[in-house]
Structure 1
Amino acid sequence: MGTAPVDRPLRRHRPFLLLCGEQIAGSVGRQTTTLALALLAVTGLGAGPLGAAALLALTYLPGALLSPLAGLLVDRMPLRRLVFVATGLQALVVGSVPLADALGHVGWVHLYAVAVLSGTLTFTLSVALQAALPRVVATEQLLRANSALTAARTTGQVGGPALGGVLVGLLGAGPALLAGSAAYAVEALLLLALPASLDSPVGSRGSGRESPLAALRAGFAVVRAEWQLRRMVLSAAGLNLGSGAATALFVLYATDDLSLPAWQLGTVYAVHSAATMVGILVAGRFARSTGLWAATRLCAPAAGVALFLIPAASLGWAFALLFAYQVCYGIAATVWAISMTTTQQLVTPQELQGRVAGFVQAALLVTVPVGALGGGALAAWLGNVPVLVASAGFALLSAATLWLPGRAAEATGAANGAQGVEDGPEASPTGPGGSAKGAGQEGQERH
């Protein structure tokens, strides 16, 4: 099946290296496409705040609504073929915009359709690749693999906007989208080079005889039955809701309330990527030393506490406090996300990978636009600072639910299982069917 032997370093494992390359290419494609589409809408079609916001919301909406169905598709279709087709279609969808722009026929209907289709393909691919990772690397290497893939994706997030900005400046927004389409084409070729064994059925994939509703229920049952996973999803959804409101208000608050110069605002944004890389470097060692469950319980509240630094900036030392926020939140949220992802991969049966990933991704994604829209509406009424304080408080309370007592047997089993990532297959926690799974990552790119 292409799984890496435990004694082979991941840097020498070809299928895993292909996934790392795919993460870089895909992230560059998404970042370039997002920037170029937004600029085309504003400069080419005269979009106002509502039009630009609607374009962004439409890229998230498919992930929030359709991720469980995407998960069902992932569990029932040949995996390599699915990711190749999805990425190839992504290249064609994005490439249709510069073609229409060159012909003078690009319009709002086209841009909105591209946003919806691109978002659908992006989040389908996200679920599929999460399901693929436990089939590519050994169980004991999942933590290191998730850290490395996050690093690859972050590299694309740093370089993508810069590349997109340069291309838009030189060629215009429409032609710049060709670069996004080309990046997706490269991604498709890398995915096509994955082992053909990924197209083989796993576990009880013969359960395709189940009705779609029964199959979806089987995936949701894992989320309900796994005590750790259920707690993580609920706390992460609440944390995303609070941080989504803070993210939506951040630029307006920094410029209008704090009068932060443009160079300081740019520096604050740039330091988040650096903090993410630090989080990636420490995630593996920290999670191995404390255990995955303990790492998640510690880092989620730390991320919630960091959000209080945003409204605290209104009291003085604005640049220093926002800088500190990005450092603290970037590190804590990264370690938390990697630990949560690895835990999710360890507790989910192999044949349910896609469906569980779909349900988790939907829960995490739907809270981001809800938090952003709710925070914006309340801020117009109450002001930015009260809403930022309330958002941080809600995020912290949600993260703190990880510390609520559970049933003794469940708590003991979860704690013991979370310690076993590097101890050998027999130490890994298993779900009802006994295998592994992965958590939604694309939503993390919103920062």
Structure 2
Amino acid sequence: MSPLPRHRPFLLLCGEQIASSVGRQVTTLALALIAVTRLDAGPFGASALMALSYLPGALLSPFAGLLADRARLRALTVLLTVLQTLVVGSVPLTAALDRLGLPQLYVVATVSGALTSMLAVSLQAALPRVVHPGQLLSANSALTGARTTGQIGGPALGGVLVGLTGASTALLAACAAYGVEALLLLALPAALDTPAERRRPRPGSRTAALRGGLAVVRGERLLRRQVLAGAGFNLGSGAADALFVLYATRDLGLPPWQLGTVYAAFSVATVLGVLLARRFATTTGLAAATRICAVVAALAIFLIPAASLLPAFPALLGYQFVFGLAATVWAISMTTTQQLITPPELQGRVAGVVQAALTATVPVGALGGGALAAWLGNVPVLTGGATVALLAAARLWAR
């Protein structure tokens, strides 16, 4: 068993996480700013953009998990990343031709979300094939730390590029990051191109194969409760996230550099969460770590509507820091629990089922929040979203 710092395939995955997080952070920020500042999207339009980026994950993740168990995994991840580069790169191209509109942004958000979701499921299935089971907690912490390294620079880079060159041009930097990601994935061991499920699938067995992942989630009480709580949490936080850029720029008047700094604060907190996750989860137990951190993360969301009463920039910095710290430890603990429970040949399908359940409520919350905000205003909807997230997190404490 090679130590993780000298484990080449694992180090390649860490590099991939840095590159992918930079690309995704710049993409998310730039698309939202294009919709709000250039194309005059309202609350529902901005929420729809976020909802469409999550909806494919809810629909396709179980099938992506089945594909990850049966396909050549390295080739699959490289293909997904190359397609991501082409899809995101279409925005600056059409902007240069002065043909960019909201319908194209919605298509890009949908396709990019589908590719991101499929890649996330594939990489979750790949990790247990790269490291020893006893290294999974440390490996998940390290990968989260690598991803956070990119997230620290990504929002700040995106904010600076948007301010200097415009949001559509900033997406070229995201495309460059995706290109680096594809090269790192291509360097992974060729053994990953051997399917995890080595039996030849029987005709008509696809439905039964998909049910295998669902059976693991339903049969493991701890995992089932965590997934249900996470889905409810994402319903409330999805409404808050969908309105965040619109609320911060129009209601609170944050300039792009402050918005980028606010997102970067989340990443700094995530680094701290990575450093604390292993010790905290080992000391309290994986289940206790998820319970505690879920409630803390939900409470942090209340700082978003509170920013309308407090100094806005510090309040949003506080939200991102506390939320980032708690959510990171929660995610690491929950992912490690899932991977330890799941049989090797079902890693992709279980990851797909879990991701589908966790992301299905995000577009519902985003669209519902956007529709209600157009009627009630942003602050009441943000407060309601935080309340829903807290109630869902509190369910983890019920007997």
TM-score for the superposition, normalised by structure 2: 0.87
Q: CA deviation at 1:376?
A: 3.7
Q: Tell me which of 24, 31, 41 is aligned to 1:48.
A: 41
User: Which of 364, 378, 393 pairs up with 2:358?
Assistant: 364
Equivalent position SS for 1:83: helix
Q: Is the 8 A contact 1:75 1:205 kept in 2?
A: no
The answer to which of 29-38 and 349-358 deviates more is: 29-38
Residue identity in the other structure for 2:77: V
Q: CA 1:114 to 1:309, structure 2 compared with 1: closer, same or farther past 3 Å?
A: closer
Q: Which amino acid aligns with 1:275?
A: A
- Structure 1, unmatched stretches of 5+, are 406-447
1:398 and 2:392 matched: yes
Deviation at 1:59, TM superposition (A): 2.1
Which position in structure 1 is the counterpart of 2:155? 161
- Per-residue CA deviations over 1:138-181 (Å, capped at 9, x if unaligned) read 11111111111111112222222333444455555554433322
Give the equivalent residue in structure 2 for 1:213. 207
Alignment-derived partner of residue 136 in structure 2: 142
**What is the alpha-carbon distance in structure 2 between the residues aligned to residue 317 and residue 170 of structure 1?**
26
Alignment partner, residue 291 of structure 1: 285
2:272 match: 278
On the 8 A contact 2:231/2:361 being kept in 1, the answer is yes
- Letter paired with 1:239: F
- Counterpart amino acid of 2:217? V
CA-CA distance at 1:379 after TM superposition: 4.4
Aligned residue number for residue 328 of structure 1:
322
Aligned to 1:83: 77
Aligned-partner Cα distance in 2 for 1:162–1:315 = 26
Matched with 1:415 is: none
**Relative CO higher for 1 or 2, CA cutoff 8 Å, sep ≥ 6?**
2
Instruction: Decide whether aligned partners of structure 1 residues 39 and 392 sit closer, same or farther in structure 2, where only a CA change above 3 A counts.
Output: closer
- Post-superposition offset of 1:230: 0.4
Does the Cα contact within 8 Å between 1:142 and 1:342 map onto a contact in 2? Answer: yes
Alignment equivalent of 1:244, drawn from 223, 233, 238? 238
Decide which of 336, 345, 348 is 1:342's aligned counterpart. 336
* Amino acid paired to 2:127: L
The aligned residue for residue 173 of structure 2 is: 179
Aligned residues with identical type, % of pairs: 69
Greater displacement, 337-346 / 293-302:
293-302
Q: Is the 8 A contact 2:57 2:359 kept in 1?
A: yes
CA distance 1:205–1:175, shift in 2 (3 Å):
farther
Letter in 1 for 2:58: A
How far is the alpha carbon of 1:121 from its aligned partner? 1.4
RMSD: 3.0
User: How many equivalent pairs are there?
Assistant: 397
Query: C-alpha displacement at 1:288, in angstroms?
Result: 1.1
Partner of 1:17: 11
8 Å Cα contact 1:18/1:190 also seen in 2? yes
The one-letter amino acid of 1:220's match is L
Match of 2:227 among 216, 223, 233: 233
Q: Distance in 2 between the 1:319 and 1:109 partners?
A: 32
Return the alpha-carbon distance in structure 1 between the equivalents of residues 382 and 164 of structure 2: 38
Displacement of 1:36 in angstroms is 4.0
Q: Tell me the TM-score normalised to structure 1 length.
A: 0.78
Contact 1:205–1:351 (Cα < 8 Å) also in 2 = no
Comparing 51-60 with 71-80, which one deviates more in the overlay? 51-60
SS at match of 1:202: coil
The superposition leaves residues 70-93 of structure 1 with CA deviations (integer Å, 9 ceiling, x where unpaired) of 112111111111111111222233
Q: Is the 8 A contact 2:47 2:366 kept in 1?
A: no
- 1:60 paired with 2:57, answer no
Measure how far apart 1:319 and its partner are.
Answer: 6.3
- TM-superposition CA deviations, 1:240-289 (whole Å, max 9, x none): 112222334456666787x6866877665443222221111100111111
Measure the CA separation in 1 of the matches of 2:161 and 2:246: 27
CA displacement at 1:116 relative to structure 2: 2.6
Unaligned runs of 5+ in 2: none
Q: Residues 63 and 120 of structure 1 are in contact (CA less than 8 Å); yes or no, is this contact kept in structure 2?
A: yes
**Residue of structure 2 aligned with 1:353, choices 347, 351, 363:** 347
